[in-house]
Amino acid sequence: MTDDLAVALSVDALSPRLTGIGRYCLELANRLPAKLGRHNLHYFRGGHWIANPSALLQEGWKPERSAFFRRHYDGWQRRRALTNAVVHAPNYFLPDWADRGVATIHDLSVLLYPETHPLDRVRAFEAQFDKTLRQAKMLITDTETVRQELITMFGIGPDRIQAVTLGAPEISLKPDFVSLGWLGLQNKQYILCVSTFEPRKRIDQLVRAFTRLPLPLRKQFPLILAGAPGWRSEALDELIAEASIDGTVKRIGFVPEASLGALYAGARLFIYPSRYEGFGLPVVEAMAHGVPCLIADTPCLIEVAQGAAKVVDPEDPIGFASAIHEALDDDRWQEDASRAGKAVARGYSWDGCATRMAEVYRAL
């Protein structure tokens, strides 16, 4: 279906190492042309129009020769995009020139847990967030939990906020586990956590709980920590280094998308102990691959998992360790959790997410 609606989509979250927000942005950029018509969709990053968003995934990308945004930009389509388009900011902040703006607010962790974020990020929210809330014609959240937080904290009318869930990976073929041979891992013989290494994710609590397990069990099921480095992780780095001495904890850094599916599929257990999330995309990705999940008692994670994951309090290291042990030993629970997780993940669709967003644009 196509129409005359013009949409300008910010792609500032796209980079060679995609975060969850980057994945959200990429899926919209790839799928919205089919919903709106390719000629109706414009992409921008900072002050530049972007002809091909996928180019931003390449190392060493540089802006095209196109000029910075101007109210009288050369070319009819660009003028139309500036003056008439619905402008969607998938990464919180709307540009000043957005007259009909849609902003996706993934979570409120910067406001609720400022101590877990870099100071420059906190200051950016202090300077821009309130303006975006007032400027936006429609606000989008990933979950009903965050939608209710926005309503409660800022008094925003419920009709100005919609919850549009994210998607799960489309798995058409069994992932090639052989591609992970360089890690020395055996299929279904490791525990996995995929996360940015920063304070809010509570990876330190996971490592402490894991090291409480009996050594033979840890050797049988080593803990694999995957993900890009974050900030303020010096103490965590030291903790991981100490736990890695006996070979039962392995930090493998950022994993390219080509190998990530196999890494998920080969895990016996996926653990996500984050203190606060707006959605928790790695949990859905793990469930889509049939991996049983252990999640923190975080409202958004509980909402997204829909009862398919075992819930634990990461601040209780003894209880956390016990839950990990039970999850590894209980074959019946493993089978039930795998089946339930797959069913939940099938309810999350990137195509459905793009369809909902197209409906939001048209409603404006």
In contact, 87 and 41? CB cutoff 8 Å: no
Whole-number pLDDT of residue 229: 87
Q: How far apart are CA 67 and CA 46, in angstroms?
A: 11
Taking alpha carbons only, the member of 332, 321, 337, 334 closest to residue 218 is 321
Q: Are residues 111 and 87 in the same domain?
A: yes
Dist. CA 212–CA 86, nearest whole Å: 53
Domain that holds residue 38: 7-167+349-363
Q: Which of 122, 169, 168 is nearest to 142 (CA)?
A: 168
Report the pLDDT value the prediction gives residue 360, as an integer from 0 to 100: 97
Does 78 have pLDDT greater than 90?
no
State the pLDDT at residue 66. 45
DSSP assignments along 297-312, one per residue = S-HHHHHHHTT-SEEE
Same domain, 285 and 321: yes
CA angle at residue 201 from 301 to 89, to 5 degrees? 70
- Position 230 scores a pLDDT of 81
CB atoms within 10 A of CB 199: 18
Residue 72: band (very low, low, confident or very high) from pLDDT cuts 50, 70, 90:
very low
| 1: in domain | no
Q: Is residue 2 part of a domain?
A: no
In a domain, 172, yes or no: no
The confidence score (pLDDT) of residue 82 equals 59
**Is the domain of 79 the same as that of 112?**
yes
Ramachandran angles phi, psi of 101, nearest 5°:
-105, 145
For the stretch 101-117, pLDDT in tens is: 999 999 999 999 998 88
Q: Which long-range contacts (C-beta less than 8 Å, at least 24 apart) are formed by 181-189?
A: 183/224, 183/250, 183/252, 185/222, 185/224, 185/266, 186/266, 187/266, 188/266, 188/267, 188/268, 189/220, 189/221, 189/268
CA gap 119, 333 in Å, rounded: 42
Backbone angles phi, psi at 104, to 5 degrees: -95, 120
In a domain, 200, yes or no: yes
Same domain, 220 and 308: yes
Question: Do both 244 and 357 map to the same domain?
Answer: no
318 and 213: one domain? yes
Task: Indicate whether 160 and 249 sit together in one domain.
Answer: no
User: Is residue 24, in this structure, part of any structural domain at all?
Assistant: yes
Write the CATH number for 96: 3.40.50.2000
Specify the pLDDT at position 257. Answer: 82
What is the spatial distance between Cα 6 and Cα 77, in angstroms, rounded to a whole number?
9
Q: Would you say residue 318 lies in a domain?
A: yes
Give pLDDT, residue 79: 47
Same domain membership, residue 208 and residue 104: no
For tokens 């967003």, what's the residue?
Answer: 357
Same domain, 190 and 311: yes
Please give the DSSP secondary-structure letter assigned to residue 97.
T
Count of the separate structural domains present in the chain? 2
Question: Do the domain assignments include residue 48?
Answer: yes
> 117-137 burial by CB neighbour count: b if 16+ within 10 A, else e?
beeeeeeebeeebeebbebbb
For the ranges 41-45, 133-137, 255-259, the maximum mean pLDDT occurs at 133-137
248 and 330 inside one domain: yes
What is the rounded distance in angstroms from the CA atom of residue 73 to the CA atom of residue 118? 36
pLDDT at residue 69 greater than cutoff 60: no
Q: Answer yes or no: is 326 within a domain.
A: yes
Same domain, 197 and 320: yes
Q: What contacts 224, CB < 8 A, 6 or more positions away?
A: 183, 185, 190, 191, 192, 193, 250, 252, 263, 267
Per-residue pLDDT at 180: 67
Same domain, 148 and 261: no
Nearest by Cα to 98 from 106, 89, 107, 110? 89
Give the lowest-confidence range in 52-66, 87-101, 185-199, 219-233. Answer: 52-66
* Closest listed residue to residue 142, CA positions, set 363, 348, 362: 348
pLDDT, position 170: 81
